[in-house]
Amino acid sequence: MERTVDIILAFSNALWRLLAEASKKHGLSPLQGQIALYLAKRGEASVTQIARELAVSISTASESLKSMIKLGYVEVARGRDKRVKVVRLTEAGRRAAEEISSIYDALSVVVSRLNYAERALLHMLYAKIVGELIDKGLIETPRACVGCQFLDKAGELYICRLAERPLGRATAPR
């Protein structure tokens, strides 16, 4: 069991280091790198939405975004609802997000070598482990599952559509 935990931790640390290194090349923290990746996928979002999805406080998200604005990676705009301000990537921000996301290319190559059954098993096991950690309150749903195609928001709940299980409430962090 200890060896399995060590492997999971080593994998997690390696991915975090890759994100940190790729983000640092653009003068960004790992959290700001995550924000850039999130905005690249979503297009635009409010500070509250970013905070909720990345499981950080609104003030943490806001401070990160202020730095990103100063660096020229993010701009403030009016959302569809003209009363709400949103942020979106500038052209420089899109280029940075594209370069940061390239850290996952090597991982994609390795995962593509797994057959369908191996990928499905890996995803099911990951969903089970993450679900248990969420149930115990050790991690928050959005940050663990950001970008996952199987994450669905149903009303006030996040649901993993692969594991077919609720993962937690969709509430903004404090």
**The pLDDT value given to residue 146:** 62
**The pLDDT value given to residue 105:** 84
143 CB-contact burial (10 Å; exposed 0-12 / middle 13-18 / buried 19+): middle
Mean pLDDT along residues 66-73: 97
Q: Which domains does the chain have, with CATH numbers?
A: 2-104 (1.10.10.10), 114-169 (no CATH)
Higher per-residue pLDDT: 146 or 125: 125
Banded model confidence at residue 169, pLDDT cuts 50, 70, 90: low
DSSP for 106-143 reads: HHHHHHHTS-HHHHHHHHHHHHHHHHHHHHTTSS-HHH
pLDDT of 32 strictly over 60 = yes
Query: Pairing relation of β-strands 157-160 and 165-169?
Result: antiparallel
Q: What whole-number percentage of the chain has pLDDT above 90?
A: 50
pLDDT of 171 strictly over 60 = no
**The pLDDT value given to residue 157:** 75
